[in-house]
Amino acid sequence: MTGKEAGEAERPGDDEIVLGLLDAVHANIRVSQRSLASELGIALGLTNAYLKRCVRKGLVKVRKAPPNRYAYYLTPKGFTEKSRLTARYLGRSFGFYRTARNEIDELLGACAERGWTSLTLCGPGELAEIAILCATQHPVSLIEVYGPRAQGESFMGLRLAKTVEDLANAEAYLITDMKRPQAMFDVLSAHAGADRVVAPRLLKIDAEHKEGAS
């Protein structure tokens, strides 16, 4: 590796490569560097360089798994970084709105089928705006938006709750926080139970992982 690792600006596209690497490691701890290179669309040597960088930054841990193989694990810091990069990538993706609308529309339909007609949106922002628009096409009521760090008393006409204690007793909680979706999921799962918390797939939330202090 070169001196760029020591703090110089990374090349455009680095975020997407790192996100792809973290996603692949999360999906399969025994993924090989060769399959990583194929999935990321970059050379094997470059894949090795990115992997070493992630290890050095504390995002990934490596353990030897005989015979002559290695297992890669995301660290808590790696989960947090994956969540951050996902939010950044989605925010500038041209297909974001269409994907978000389709997935949220599907979630709202599933909630209605389960008899969950009162929902809290968890996280003000673009995803919440899309959810509010989609909700008009389903027999559900959005009763509030949960935003611990949000300003004001309302969001697009909905009451803005600032603390978990201030939340109304909704039948389901829809994650719309793009900045720290995993942390939001963990908070709402502890509050209401993971079975009552739903989230679009694009946020890549891991229902089994608990995001630690970050």
Amino acid (one-letter) located at 186: D
- The reported pLDDT for the residue numbered 5 is 38
- The reported pLDDT for the residue numbered 166 is 94
Is the per-residue pLDDT at 13 higher than 90?
A: no
> Do 139 and 60 reside in the same domain of the chain?
no
The answer for residues whose C-beta is within 8 angstroms of residue 69's C-beta and 6 or more apart is 30, 32
Amino acid (one-letter) located at 131: A
Count of domains forming the chain: 2
| Mean per-residue pLDDT over the chain, rounded | 86
Domain with 111, as residue range(s), is 96-203
| Residue written as token pair 């027999």 | 139
> Do 110 and 62 reside in the same domain of the chain?
no
User: Kind and range of the H or E element at 69?
Assistant: strand 69-74
- The reported pLDDT for the residue numbered 97 is 85
> Do 12 and 109 reside in the same domain of the chain?
no
pLDDT digits (tens, 9 = 90+) for 118-148: 999 999 988 999 999 999 999 999 999 999 9
Judge whether 158 and 133 are in contact, CB under 8 Å.
Answer: no
| Stretch among 75-79, 140-144, 207-211 having the lowest mean pLDDT | 207-211
> Do 112 and 163 reside in the same domain of the chain?
yes
> Do 59 and 132 reside in the same domain of the chain?
no
Amino acid (one-letter) located at 200: P
Stretch 17-30: mean pLDDT: 88
Q: What is the signed CA dihedral for 158, 161, 164, 166, rounded to 10 degrees? A: -100
The answer for residues whose C-beta is within 8 angstroms of residue 202's C-beta and 6 or more apart is 86, 90, 96, 99, 100, 103
> Do 126 and 63 reside in the same domain of the chain?
no
* 208 domain residue, yes or no: no
